[in-house]
Amino acid sequence: MENVVAVAMSGGVDSSLTASMLLEQGYKVFGITLRLWVSDADPEDVPLAVTDAKKMCDFLGIEHHVVDARDVFYENVVDYFVNEYAAGRTPNPCVFCNKNIKFDLLLKRALELGATHMVTGHYAQVRYNEATKLYEVHKGADPSKDQSYVLYTLNQDILSHLMFPLGAQKKTLTREMANDRDLPVANKPDSEDICFLPNHNYQGFIQKQLTEAPKSGNIVHENGEILGRHNGLFNYTIGQRKGLGVAYKYPLYVVRLDGEKNEVIVGPDESLFTNRMICKHYNFLSGTIPKELHAAGKIRYAANPSLCVARIFDDETMEVVFETPQRAITPGQSVVFYEGTQVLGGGVIETVC
């Protein structure tokens, strides 16, 4: 059994229970927490997540280390988030945080501090396949909490140093176990917001972060008819119906955001369905890039998997074609491939065809 593990502590029930469980199993445990950039926070104030994590480490009697990632987080996640929205795409910041911060910067620091593994409270499962000699990521046992979708950017070296002890259980059991151990955070609510946006007002945040005033442009029916004006592409998402501010003879939805022309394209619901997309920044967890992959794909975190074929064009580009048209495929989001419960890989949706 590996002796020293670092638990990525957030001050919540998942990471706190994880640390408690590992202590009971005989591991030497220390906590490690990212100090991230947070909107409207005083630079001198220590974020609540850091103070809560320290309190839990003190409660458990383990060391606590803080990794100041404010600058690198802003550059790699926040700035990316703002620029993507401003260009008419809808990013998933958790994917890029996992890739560049949590399972890169934080993991490296954990290993430097003497850990053999970094442990998190993710609801996903890491398994080692003896037949293939490869590490695999599988869905969490709790469908309502499964986080495997945001883990497709991992690789074999990273996976060899990860443990997700909660992945095989449901969140209700986690809270029961935390209560049984009298953990102070047993009933602490789950965080539902983007971590750097506590109030979830992403439109106001983006407008504040932009160096230039948002550019107004036309709201255009897909037939070419100009219906009105918009006040910045970042205020709209694919599939949106409410808040368009235009009237028409049938309900209209945002079907496309044209960053080059600075236009919001609207149309009927049926125009939201398509089955082909081009993706960038693809990754496959096995380390082997297939020329063609038949799998079940998810076009967003909450989507149901649907059969598709992925074809690699070059080192940067991948085509994905679904057997059944998907509703509201959104550039900036990720398509993630599964075989049963196993995550095979994925990529960022660039354009919808």
What's the mean pLDDT in 21-33? 97
**Beta carbons of 337 and 343 less than 8 angstroms apart:** yes
Q: Please report, in range form, the residues annotated as the binding site.
A: 8-15, 34, 121
DSSP result, 27-40: -EEEEEEEE---TT
- pLDDT tens digit sequence for 65-101: 999 999 999 999 999 999 999 999 999 999 999 999 9
Confidence of residue 161 (pLDDT cuts 50, 70, 90): very high
To the nearest 10 degrees (0 to 180), the angle between helices 13-24 and 171-180 is 60
The SS3 of residue 257 is strand
Q: Please report, in range form, the residues annotated as the binding site for ATP.
A: 8-15, 34, 121
**In sequence order, what are the residues at sequence separation of 6 or more whose Cβ sits closer than 8 angstroms to the Cβ of residue 280?**
316, 317, 318, 347, 348, 350
Nearest in space to 326 (alpha carbons), one of 352, 351, 294: 352
CATH numbers and ranges of domains, the chain: 4-180 (3.40.50.620), 212-267 (2.30.30.280), 273-352 (2.40.30.10)
Lowest-confidence region among 206-220, 279-293, 321-335: 206-220
- Strands 318-327, 334-339: pairing is unpaired
Could you give the CA distance from residue 11 to residue 7 in angstroms, rounded to a whole number? 11
- pLDDT tens digit sequence for 264-282: 999 999 999 999 999 999 9
The residues that are catalytic are 97, 195
In sign, the C-alpha dihedral spanning 332, 153, 13, 66 is: negative
Q: CA triplet 175, 179, 183: central angle to 5 degrees? A: 100
Residue 1 has pLDDT above 50, yes or no: no
Q: How far is CA 133 from CA 92, 124, 127, 165, in A?
A: 31, 20, 10, 21
Could you give the CA distance from residue 157 to residue 264 in angstroms, rounded to a whole number? 42
Residue 211 has pLDDT above 90, yes or no: no
Tell me what pLDDT residue 2 has.
56
CA-CA-CA-CA torsion for 172, 173, 179, 180, nearest 10 degrees? 160
Could you give the CA distance from residue 123 to residue 92 in angstroms, rounded to a whole number? 18
Encoded tokens for 110? 């954990």
Confidence of residue 313 (pLDDT cuts 50, 70, 90): very high
